[in-house]
Amino acid sequence: MTAEGGSTASSVSTETKANKRTTAYVVKSFVAGGIAGCSFLGVFRAIRDIHSVYGVPGLFQGHSATLLRIFPYAAIKFMTYEQYKTLIMPRKEDETPMRRLVAGSMAGVSSLFASYPLDLLRTRLAYEIRMPKAGTDGEMKSPGLVETGRMIYHEPNPYSRHGKFIGGVMNFYRGFVPTTYGMIPYAGVSFMCYEGMKAWAVERDGWWTYESTRRKGTLDEEGKSRQLTWWAQLTVGGLSGLIAQTASYPFEVIRRHMQIAGKIENGAGNGGVKKFPTTWETTKTIYAKKGPRGFFVGLSIGFMKVVPMHAVSFYVYEYMKVLLDF
């Protein structure tokens, strides 16, 4: 009887994993991930500094690029995580913290290829200085999405001296390397902590869980499953974001410095020529100016955005799983 039960459990597990490889599952996880990513969009911004210089419209500078970036980024991240998880951990007993870390890291890096150019546009739109408006007497305007894209494309590239086409395209991936370095611990640690803490909480079956028959998942003999309450779900998601942000923040600082490098002029000794430093040069510059603490400047403010963002996005993703029935 035990062998028969084990065989049945194994076949159910195999069937469940196979269902995750279907087109319908991929599409549903893509849509759910995109909606989860957009659910907390734009709530926290650097309000005081931007408002003091540009007024209320300045608070939304770069918002259009953010809207274009966040959906594919989150959608691809969640969708590919489900697929990598199926490949790396085909059985429930295969799920370990290290494998969750690897699956999350791979999912994060996969999402970057589609979303990074838009992330660069968003950053430059937020930092771009105002320009004289054509046909007016000194009236200033902020460059739009298309205009900023043209500026980035035509800027000199350290890897393309002759201004070839590939040089222009590669300008949209300036800072991509440190972003990749940062994404590995950020997405990996985020998913690892979330899945681990969620499994730990569910297994203990305390007052923070409830019985559900709607969700597909780890079912008992009666076809029921235990799920986290809404506040426990938000807590687990928020904590995972806090830990992931701390682990990856130095790479975030380096990336931002490289992305806005196009607006920084070198000293007079260089003839006013703009410099686009490499990852290592940027790292040395930050360390020389501020030491190790320079890589964590603004981390507390980052917590204010990332912690609730992770809490809400993971919660919404789990809710979309129920809504879309996958």
For residue 45, the one-letter residue type is R
For the cut 60, the answer to whether the pLDDT of residue 214 exceeds it is: no
Quote the CA–CA distance of 318 and 218 in Å, as a whole number. 14
For 105-115, write each residue's pLDDT tens digit: 999 999 998 88
Q: Whole-prediction pTM value?
A: 0.72
13 class by beta-carbon count within 10 Å (0-12 exposed, 13-18 middle, 19+ buried): middle
Domains defined for the chain, CATH in brackets: 16-131+143-200+228-261+276-324 (1.50.40.10)
The pLDDT assigned to 102 comes to: 95
Backbone angles phi, psi at 157, to 5 degrees: -120, 130
The closest of 209, 210, 199, 215 to 323, measured between CA atoms, is 215
Quote the CA–CA distance of 265 and 273 in Å, as a whole number. 6
The pLDDT assigned to 70 comes to: 79
For the cut 80, the answer to whether the pLDDT of residue 326 exceeds it is: no
* H/E element, 115: helix 97-127
More reliable by pLDDT, 272 or 118: 118
Q: Is the backbone of residue 205 left (phi > 0), alpha (psi -120 to 50) or beta?
A: left
CA dihedral 183, 112, 310, 103 (to 10 degrees): -60
Q: How confident is the model at residue 240 (pLDDT cuts 50, 70, 90)?
A: very high
CB 246 within 8 A of CB 193: no
Q: What is the mean pLDDT of residues 305-320?
A: 90
Q: Which two tokens stand for residue 58?
A: 């300045």
- Strand ranges in 81-224 using DSSP code E only, listed in sequence order: 131-132, 140-141, 209-212
